């Protein structure tokens, strides 16, 4: 039973306030404690509701259920923080596509009634842990829910790098970059780069080249227990970056080594009881239309 609810909104603020208002009143009617995220709801008028607003590190220690109001980008940001706290998370979609925030505002109350009645679906999703090192020193230590992307900076030139899987040499390539994606991230940037759609229940990672110079470079699927190592060539100084979920960026140089592994903890995603991943794919990708 969930009793302490954390609500996270869009950083742009006011467009999510109407739904946040409805959520607060709903949970208060159900005699639940509601706490807002300071980072995304800093300007929300909490005084009229008599509720608290906490910084994210403190908020995570107080809640047992998280509701994200926004798009997939908002969900990604919250997921990276919440993964180490074992808190179930539900997304209400204010964005465009909504693979992660899959609850419609129109059905939000019905879904929450089911959740509070312990009548819902919960699945575990994997994340990635990325370390960037130079001469044994860790320079970047972050988490990604969708993908870790090596991408060239603003330059028409391709970048050159080597990829290793579990200390075994995979390939050397020239391209615009490489996407290392979780099964969840297989429907994000990886999909647009020609990568496969991977069932979210699989323990796997996909490696998808971005505009490779050689057409023989194809997407590769490896075990989720693998360690991926990326080593840029000497001519990559200042020309490439590592990007987590399109939100966290670190510029790499020739002597940087990027290690990507599965994060030890999982995200617990809450869905309506009739949630069907393949139905979601059909709806979002227009697969069900007659030709």
The partner residues of 240 in beta bridges, in order of sequence, read 152, 252
Tell me which CATH homologous superfamily contains domain 4-120+272-285.
Probable inorganic polyphosphate/atp-NAD kinase; domain 1 (3.40.50.10330)
Kindly give the parts of the chain with pLDDT less than 70: 12-15, 97, 290-291
Active-site annotation holds for 72: yes
CATH topology of domain 127-264: Tumour Suppressor Smad4 (2.60.200)
CA distance 271 to 94: 16
Domain limits of the chain? Answer: 4-120+272-285, 127-264
**What is residue 205's predicted lDDT score, i.e. its pLDDT?**
98
pLDDT computed for residue 99 by the predictor: 83
Q: Report how far residue 84's alpha carbon sits from residue 131's, in angstroms, rounded to the nearest whole number.
A: 17
Provide the pLDDT for residue 12.
65
**Cβ pair 78, 68 in contact under 8 A:** yes
Tokens of 27: 């949970």
Q: How far apart are CA 169 and CA 191, in angstroms?
A: 25
* CA-closest candidate to residue 124, choices 86, 85, 92, 93: 86
> Which of 37, 72, 147, 176 is an active site residue?
72
How far is C-alpha 202 from the chain's CA centre? 16
* Interacting residues of 112 by C-beta distance below 8 A, sequence separation 6+: 23, 26
pTM of the model: 0.93
For the stretch 190-225, pLDDT in tens is 999 999 999 999 999 999 999 999 888 899 999 999
- Cα distances from 43 to residues 6, 12, 53, 133, 223, in angstroms, run 16, 10, 10, 38, 44
């Amino acid at each position: 039973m969930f009793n302490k609810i954390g609500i996270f909104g869009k950083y742009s603020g006011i467009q999510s306030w109407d739904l946040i208002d409805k959520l607060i009143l709903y949970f208060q009617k159900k005699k639940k404690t509601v706490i807002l995220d300071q980072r995304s709801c800093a300007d929300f008028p909490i005084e009229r509701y008599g509720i608290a607003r906490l910084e994210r590190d403190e908020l995570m220690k107080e809640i047992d259920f998280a509701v994200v109001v926004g798009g997939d980008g908002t969900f990604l940001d919250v997921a990276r923080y919440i993964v180490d706290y074992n808190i179930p998370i539900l997304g209400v979609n204010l964005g465009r596509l909504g693979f992660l925030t899959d609850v419609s505002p129109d059905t939000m109350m019905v879904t929450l009634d089911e959740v509070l009645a312990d009548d819902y679906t919960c699945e575990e999703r994997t994340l990635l842990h990325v370390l960037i090192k130079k001469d044994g020193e860790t320079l970047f230590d972050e988490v990604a829910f969708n993908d870790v992307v090596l991408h060239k900076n603003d330059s028409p030139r391709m970048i050159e790098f080597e990829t290793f899987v579990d200390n075994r040499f995979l390939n050397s390539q020239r391209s615009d970059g490489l996407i290392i994606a979780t099964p969840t991230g297989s429907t994000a940037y990886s999909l647009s780069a020609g990568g496969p759609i991977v069932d979210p229940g699989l323990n796997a990672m996909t490696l998808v080249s971005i505009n490779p110079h050689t057409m023989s470079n194809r997407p590769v699927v490896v075990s989720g227990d693998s360690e991926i190592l990326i080593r840029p060539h000497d001519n990559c100084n200042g020309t490439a970056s590592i990007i987590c979920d399109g939100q966290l960026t670190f510029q790499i140089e020739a002597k940087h080594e990027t290690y990507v592994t599965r994060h030890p903890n999982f995200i617990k995603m809450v869905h309506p009881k009739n949630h069907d991943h393949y139905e979601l794919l059909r709806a979002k990708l227009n697969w069900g239309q007659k030709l």
